[in-house]
A and B are shown apart, each in its own frame.
Chain A
Amino acid sequence: MIPHAETAHWIAASVALLLGLVLLSEVIVGTDVFRRRRWRAYLWPSLALVSGVLIWLIAILSTFSTIHLLAHAIWAEAAMIAGAVELAVVRGKLSSPRWSLVAAAALLISGLSFLVHEQNPWLYSRAAFLHHAIGWMLVVAALFPLGRALRPQRTVLWGTGFALTFVLLAVMLFADRDSASIFGHFGEIPRP
């Protein structure tokens, strides 16, 4: 009943990569150009909302330990709420830039649950290292939507940081398992 961990993490990494690239595209070409086709504005918030629903599927398949169930539940809820609020902003339902605080809170809570979920020190293992790295990255990345909420005029800075957060998250999620095929060719290197 439980899918292989790699499968779930590759899917999550792929979605994070897609999210990051969409956000990065908007930063590179500028919001005006990017949103000449209206549907593009809905891309990343919709992805976040849908991925939130899908993370619930992973959550209910993560009953092999309480911490995994709880952590996935937090990530699912954070993604759904943050995605929905951003969609509402794009749609015009919400207008204040302060609504970015929701994305900041989602990143902060997600990062903290990564850190709580990992009980070992940084250099205990690769998984521990990456869990700490992802956790702290998400906590720090909460500053980008926070900045967008409080200093909305510096769009490029906040947008770039926010986009790169998801690209980095994708890289780390791809690397977060023993036999991830993306790094599988390194598996033949003999252990020290």
Chain B
Amino acid sequence: MRRLAVAAVAVVAALALPDVGLAHATLTTSYPRAQSTIQVPPAEVRLVFNQSVTVTSRAIQVLAADGTLLSGTATTRNGGAVVVAPVSRLERGSAYTVRWRVTSSDGHSPGGVFTFGVGVPAPPPTEAVGAAGTSWRDDVARWALFAALALLIGPLVVRVVVLRRSSVPAALEQRVHLLTTVAAFLVIDAGIVAFVLRAANALQLPGIDLLYGDLKPFAEHTRFGIAFLAMTMGFAIVAGLLLVAWIFDRTALRWPALVLSLALASGLSLSSHQATEPNRGTLPEVADWLHLVAACVWVGGLAALALCVWPVAPALRRTAFVGFSRIAVVLVALMVLGGAYLALVRLPSVSDLWTTHYGHVLLVKAAIVSVALGWGAAHHFLVRPRLERGADPEIRPSLVGELVVAFVVLLVAAVLTNSAPPAVRDRTPVVAGAAR
């Protein structure tokens, strides 16, 4: 009874006493602001939190491009909500990195990193001093993102374009619904993982402390962060549209889901290395987007044929295969032309192909793409005529084989996207290299 009374008092106290309510501290603003350009070197760096924090003397570290520590002992003001560190030897014409770590009143240790420039543009936080480059984890996350995007877009194209005039059996309809809806959620999840991993490379927080890392500078001041925010919300709407389409048999909703997905895929093009290179421009970005979309439709379309049409809709095999085969010609053209153009843009000289890491990956990708295209050509020129003549050859294993090769292509594409293209001579200097 006594325990019950204590518990009751604790509950009432928790609900009734607002002043004892605490959450962990978050950085609300700073001077200099994250990714800002100021004209005069500051005498101090100031961080403002939404509640009081406790700090050690090294709570704020201001670092020059060569890693030299320029900040002094950090102290708190305004009851602990403001943390200040004096800085010296900052010069106009340089960019600096700020790394911070505090302890909030709930015991958590939030931390973060941002950059600012004095008379020069601040580099993105991914290029802060101490930031690590991408690793195999980033490659796997981006591959998952590509694969999920393909499994979303490809089956939608097969259903709403290739089979638009066909009477589709309920089983196929169900399978396409299931595949595309799961893929939409996977796109969101893989996107979150990729974003957090990319931020973690720069944050360099140990283990569990990454959970309290400040991701705002990455979300709000990098193109991949902004693309991540737009894609996450956009694909949540896509998932919602697909769910409603399934529940209420409103198959027309797949059109807006497809159009939105295609548009959102541009986020990957805008936020890949294409977005950070000095030779970036509208044409390379459009080429990158077309290259990506064509690849997604090709890989996802193969998945739709192998995993949906062949097992549950035998009557539609010929229509689906022949229809997709016609589209595939355009897709291959877009992939090859787009890829060739981007290679020309990103590789300053032909020798970069065998002298740089980027070139090596590109060669591997080209080799695997050749295998996949050869496989596709065999389907196009050998299987398609047989199907058009009314035969029903057992080609599902072959479709699955081509699909597996296509997923390997996506994996190499993910590695390539996370790799830094060869440097261009007039490239703007950065605070610290975050390249592989």
> Using a CB-CB cutoff of 8 Å, which residues 65-101 of chain A contact chain B?
65-67, 69-70, 73, 76-77, 80-81, 84, 87-88, 91, 93
Kindly state the separation between the CA atoms of A66 and B220 in the bound complex, as whole angstroms: 14
Which partner residue on chain A sits nearest B218 by CB separation? A63
A149 within 8 A of B: no
Across chains A and B, the number of contacting residue pairs, with CB separation under 8 Å, is 142
Question: Is there contact, CB below 8 Å, between B233 and A60?
Answer: yes
- Residues A65 and B17 in contact in the complex (CB < 8 Å), given A53-B236, A70-B192, A123-B10: no
Question: Is there contact, CB below 8 Å, between A177 and B21?
Answer: yes
- Residues A184 and B18 in contact in the complex (CB < 8 Å), given A66-B212, A66-B213: yes
Question: Is there contact, CB below 8 Å, between B196 and A66?
Answer: yes
- Residues A126 and B17 in contact in the complex (CB < 8 Å), given A65-B215, A73-B188, A80-B240: yes
User: CB-CB < 8 A to B211: which residues of A?
Assistant: 65-67, 70
A141 within 8 A of B: no
**Residue interface mask A96-121, B partner, CB < 8 A = 1:** 00000000000000000000000110
> Using a CB-CB cutoff of 8 Å, which residues 57-89 of chain B contact chain A?
none
Question: Is there contact, CB below 8 Å, between A64 and B10?
Answer: no
Looking at the complex, which one of A84, A126, A172 makes contact with B22 (CB distance below 8 Å)?
Answer: A126
B14 within 8 A of A: yes
Kindly state the separation between the CA atoms of A154 and B117 in the bound complex, as whole angstroms: 66
Complex interface: stretch among B102-110, B305-313, B367-375: B102-110
Kindly state the separation between the CA atoms of A52 and B237 in the bound complex, as whole angstroms: 10
User: CB-CB < 8 A to A66: which residues of B?
Assistant: 196, 199, 210-213, 215
Question: Is there contact, CB below 8 Å, between B19 and A187?
Answer: yes
B229 within 8 A of A: yes
User: CB-CB < 8 A to A22: which residues of B?
Assistant: none
**Residue interface mask B114-148, A partner, CB < 8 A = 1:** 00000000000000000000000000000000000
- Residues A60 and B247 in contact in the complex (CB < 8 Å), given A65-B214, A123-B10, A126-B22: no
Kindly state the separation between the CA atoms of A171 and B108 in the bound complex, as whole angstroms: 26
Give the residue among B10, B214, B240 with the most A Cβ atoms within 10 A. Answer: B240
A39 within 8 A of B: no
**Residue interface mask A143-174, B partner, CB < 8 A = 1:** 00000000000000000000000000001100
B243 within 8 A of A: yes
- Residues A175 and B215 in contact in the complex (CB < 8 Å), given A60-B229, A127-B23: no
CB distance from B277 to the nearest CB of A (A): 25
Question: Is there contact, CB below 8 Å, between B18 and A73?
Answer: no
Question: Is there contact, CB below 8 Å, between B247 and A87?
Answer: yes
Question: Is there contact, CB below 8 Å, between A124 and B229?
Answer: no
Question: Is there contact, CB below 8 Å, between B220 and A1?
Answer: yes
Question: Is there contact, CB below 8 Å, between B14 and A64?
Answer: no
User: CB-CB < 8 A to B196: which residues of A?
Assistant: 66, 69-70
A189 within 8 A of B: yes
CB distance from A162 to the nearest CB of B (A): 21
Q: Considering only CB atoms and an 8 Å cut-off, how many residues of chain B contact the other chain?
A: 52
Question: Is there contact, CB below 8 Å, between A64 and B215?
Answer: yes
User: CB-CB < 8 A to B228: which residues of A?
Assistant: 60
Kindly state the separation between the CA atoms of A49 and B105 in the bound complex, as whole angstroms: 36
Question: Is there contact, CB below 8 Å, between A129 and B106?
Answer: no
Q: Helix, strand, loop or mixed for chain B's interface?
A: helix
User: CB-CB < 8 A to A49: which residues of B?
Assistant: 240, 243-244
CB distance from A54 to the nearest CB of B (A): 9
B201 within 8 A of A: no
B248 within 8 A of A: yes
Kindly state the separation between the CA atoms of A41 and B106 in the bound complex, as whole angstroms: 43
Kindly state the separation between the CA atoms of A151 and B297 in the bound complex, as whole angstroms: 45
**Residue interface mask B209-253, A partner, CB < 8 A = 1:** 011111110111000010011001100110110011011100000
User: CB-CB < 8 A to A64: which residues of B?
Assistant: 26-27, 214-216
Question: Is there contact, CB below 8 Å, between B247 and A91?
Answer: yes
Kindly state the separation between the CA atoms of A118 and B105 in the bound complex, as whole angstroms: 13
Kindly state the separation between the CA atoms of A172 and B185 in the bound complex, as whole angstroms: 29
Kindly state the separation between the CA atoms of A59 and B229 in the bound complex, as whole angstroms: 9
Question: Is there contact, CB below 8 Å, between B18 and A180?
Answer: yes
B33 within 8 A of A: no
Question: Is there contact, CB below 8 Å, between A59 and B14?
Answer: no
Some 30 contacts from A to B, beta carbons below 8 A apart, are A2-B216, A49-B243, A49-B244, A50-B240, A53-B236, A53-B237, A53-B240, A56-B233, A59-B232, A60-B228, A60-B233, A63-B215, A63-B225, A65-B26, A65-B110, A65-B215, A66-B210, A66-B211, A69-B215, A73-B189, A77-B188, A80-B236, A80-B240, A91-B247, A126-B20, A126-B21, A126-B22, A175-B14, A177-B21, A183-B16
Q: Which 6 interchain pairs have the tightest Cβ spacing?
A: A126-B21, A56-B236, A63-B219, A63-B215, A125-B22, A67-B211
Residues of B within 8 A of A (CB): 10-11, 13-24, 26-27, 105-108, 110, 185, 188-189, 192, 196, 199, 208, 210-216, 218-220, 225, 228-229, 232-233, 236-237, 239-240, 243-244, 246-248
Given contact pairs A77-B188, A179-B18, a sample of 16 additional A-B residue pairs in the complex whose CB atoms are under 8 Å apart: A1-B220, A53-B237, A63-B218, A64-B27, A65-B26, A65-B211, A77-B189, A80-B236, A80-B239, A84-B246, A119-B208, A120-B107, A124-B106, A126-B20, A127-B106, A129-B10
Residues of A within 8 A of B (CB): 1-2, 5, 49-50, 52-53, 56-57, 59-60, 63-67, 69-70, 73, 76-77, 80-81, 84, 87-88, 91, 93, 119-120, 123-130, 133, 171-172, 175-180, 183-184, 186-187, 189, 191
